[in-house]
A and B are shown apart, each in its own frame.
Chain A
Amino acid sequence: RKEVEQDPGPFNVPEGATVAFNCTYSNSASQSFFWYRQDCRKEPKLLMSVYSSGNEDGRFTAQLNRASQYISLLIRDSKLSDSATYLCVVNQAGTALIFGKGTTLSVSS
């Protein structure tokens, strides 16, 4: 099993749609979780951290399910500017954060 797995997509949705991405991780001892966003030909940037109790930032909601070892990202009322690749990131003891390959989202008008 890969350390961090994401559905690569692409997810093609119309403006205003709600879209959800899931990410599974293999190390049950992982404690830190993040979602990053990467625009085409740009560097990744932190979108939000993921907390045990779940957290929301505007139209974005992140949730953690430790029992099933997955994290999710929900985007409500999608905007054209949300088009990007979303990277799931998980820590692993003794080494650097592990980045998933990313899920590509394309929002169209």
Chain B
Amino acid sequence: GAGVSQSPSNKVTEKGKDVELRCDPISGHTALYWYRQRLGQGLEFLIYFQGNSAPDKSGLPSDRFSAERTGESVSTLTIQRTQQEDSAVYLCASSLSRDNEQFFGPGTRLTVL
């Protein structure tokens, strides 16, 4: 079946612009996660959605970052007023439930000029 998909695969933007990244999880997966990975670094947890529960936003680095998820489907990560330090690969993952293995999408490579 289809895996996790993300769009766009690459995004180049100017400092100060807003960007929106999209994630389509595997059908039936109730849990969805966003991570950031800077070049040569480990995964940085951003936010986690589980069904209809309130999301765990503890990893969002600033109030410029926000994410939404409609039910158990698509999620969007929005970064407002982008900064050069936001340049990274943004990875989305989904799983059947919180403690199950996560399946990752190919990521969106964001470059802020």
Chain A positions near chain B (C-beta within 8 angstroms) = 31-32, 34, 42-46, 49, 87, 91, 95-102
Contact = CB atoms under 8 A, between A and B. Distances in A.
Across the A-B interface, the 9 shortest Cβ-Cβ residue pairs: A101-B42, A43-B104, A96-B48, A32-B99, A91-B99, A99-B43, A46-B101, A44-B104, A96-B33
Nearest to A34: B101
A96 B98 contact: yes
Interface in B93-109: 98-107
Contact of A99 (B45, B48, B99, B106): B45
A97 B58 contact: no
18 contacts: A34-B101, A43-B91, A43-B106, A44-B43, A44-B91, A46-B102, A49-B101, A91-B98, A95-B56, A96-B33, A96-B45, A96-B56, A97-B99, A97-B102, A98-B45, A99-B43, A99-B45, A100-B42
Interface of B: 31, 33, 35, 41-43, 45, 48, 56, 58, 91, 98-107
B26 to A, nearest CB: 13
A34 B99 CA distance: 10
Most buried by B among A44, A45, A95, A96: A96
Given A91-B98, A95-B48, A95-B58, A43 B42 contact: no
Contacts of B45: 96, 98-99
A49 B102 CA distance: 11
